[in-house]
Amino acid sequence: MFTTRENNTEAPEQEVVQETIKKTKKPKRFKKPELGKNKNIILGVVLGLFIVVTAFQTTYTIQEDEYAVVQTFGSVQVVETPGFKFKIPYIQKVYKVSKASKQFAVGYDLETNQSIYKESFMITSDYNFVNVDFYFEYQITDPVKYFYASEEPEVIVKNLAQSYIRDTVGSHGVDEVLTTGKYEIQTEIKTKLQERLELEDIGIQVTNAVIQDAEVPTTEVAQAFKNVEDAKQGMETAINNANADANTRIPAANAEADKIIKDANAQKEALIAEAQGQVARFNSLYAEYVKFPLITKERMFYEAMEEVLPGMNIYITDGATQTLLPLDSFSTINTNGGE
């Protein structure tokens, strides 16, 4: 009896369990077709995205100021004409390069304009310290070499520029760096940098190199250089004033010299004429003397007395007495016509 009661109680419990299992299995039968439908939707979306991406991969556009480097496996082609272009998707790769001029700076940041002292701080040939800022412009002339000759061509250009800047500034004095030698220094740096880039052959050409700013690192040194510059300007002013004064005095001195020379020449001509006259007179007297020696001597004596006596005070004395008789009146009478 006990055993039969247990068997009767277990039968309804098994039926309940089986009924529950059936209920739990029904939803699974209905989810199978929904899962297959979602997979189809996902595949459709992926296929659509693939088609769209592939469509975008078949075309590209080049602007007026751009190059296009088209890489097809191992070969490279440069496209320069602007416009809408086609390419093989997933096989050809396109790299665009700007034709426009690019810039970089040494000694300061182009965007923030903040100084970079480790780049600008330098020493000159006369062992002075200066801060020099440089501005460079360059262009990409060969996009293939630009992409494939080096990994970081801009870094190479800037490093070379820094090297040549320090080398060139170090070969000039501080006065040249700060004042008179700026043009020569920046031209020399540009020439050296471009020659080196041609050897490196990375497809870049430097078009401009300018000293943006040059100054001494301390206020005291800056004031000293300002004083030197003021002294130089004062010297130039003094030289200009001296030249102006010289330009005024030299013509006057030349005129005075010409006058003296002309007067001397005139006096020379007069003395020569007088000497020639005296020679002619002496020759004529000598000719008369040869003919009449005694008469000529007496005439010459009288003529000499006529020239000498009017300017003399004549006294007569016997040599023993102290009485002197002046003959001024006689000489005066003779000079006045013999009165």
Q: Is 120 a member of any domain? A: yes
With b for 16 or more beta-carbon neighbours within 10 A and e for fewer, the 15-43 pattern comes to eeeeeeeeeeeeeeeeeeeeeeeeeeeee
Tally Cβ neighbours within 10 Å of residue 66: 16
Q: Is 54 a member of any domain? A: no
- pLDDT of res. 283: 86
With b for 16 or more beta-carbon neighbours within 10 A and e for fewer, the 102-114 pattern comes to eeebbbbeeeeee
- 173/144 same-domain check: yes
Q: What type of residue is 174? A: V
Which residues, 6+ apart, have CB-to-CB distance to 40 below 8 Å? none
Could you tell me the CATH number of the domain that includes residue 147? 3.30.479.30
- 212/244 same-domain check: no
| Predicted TM-score (pTM) above 0.75 | no
Q: Is 328 a member of any domain? A: yes
Sign of CA dihedral 205, 211, 212, 217: positive
Q: Which of residues 152 and 225 earns the better pLDDT score?
A: 152
- 150/222 same-domain check: no
Q: Is 44 a member of any domain? A: no
- pLDDT of res. 322: 54
In terms of C-beta density within 10 A (0-12 exposed, 13-18 middle, 19 or more buried), how is residue 165 classed? buried
Tokens standing for residue 274: 């007088």
143 pLDDT tier (thresholds 50, 70, 90) = confident
Q: Which residue, of 179, 200, 217, is where some domain finishes?
A: 217
**pLDDT over 60 at 184, yes or no:** yes
- pLDDT of res. 186: 94
Model confidence pLDDT, tens digit, residues 228-255: 778 888 898 999 999 988 888 888 888 8
Residue with tokens 């050296």: 192
Pairing of strands 83-86, 59-62: antiparallel
- 212/109 same-domain check: yes
How far is residue 114's CA from residue 306's CA, in Å, rounded to a whole number?
Answer: 106
Q: Which residue, of 186, 217, 248, is where some domain finishes?
A: 217
Region 286-304: what's the mean pLDDT?
A: 83
Number of H helices and E strands in the chain, helices first, is 9, 11
Q: Which residue, of 201, 217, 233, is where some domain finishes?
A: 217
Q: Which residues pair with 79 in a beta bridge?
A: 68
Q: DSSP states of 271-284 as a string?
A: HHHHHHHHHHHHHH
Q: Report the candidate in 155, 153, 120, 121 with the shortest Cα–Cα distance to residue 135.
A: 120
Model confidence pLDDT, tens digit, residues 199-225: 999 999 999 999 999 988 777 666 776
Q: Report the candidate in 141, 123, 121 with the shortest Cα–Cα distance to residue 133.
A: 121
- 125/88 same-domain check: no
- pLDDT of res. 161: 95
Q: Is 272 a member of any domain? A: yes
Phi and psi angles of residue 162, each rounded to the nearest 5 degrees, phi first = -60, -40
Q: Report the candidate in 222, 205, 204, 202 with the shortest Cα–Cα distance to residue 213.
A: 222
Q: Is 5 a member of any domain? A: no
- 205/125 same-domain check: yes
Q: Is 117 a member of any domain? A: yes
Tell me which residue range forms the domain holding 228.
218-286
What Cα–Cα distance (Å) separates residue 315 from each residue in 107, 302, 318, 326, 327? Answer: 108, 19, 10, 5, 6
- 150/237 same-domain check: no
**pLDDT over 70 at 338, yes or no:** no
Q: Are 177 and 120 in contact (CB under 8 A)?
A: no
- 250/265 same-domain check: yes
Phi and psi angles of residue 92, each rounded to the nearest 5 degrees, phi first = -95, 135
When divided into structural domains, the chain yields a total of 4
Q: Report the candidate in 209, 73, 201 with the shortest Cα–Cα distance to residue 135.
A: 209
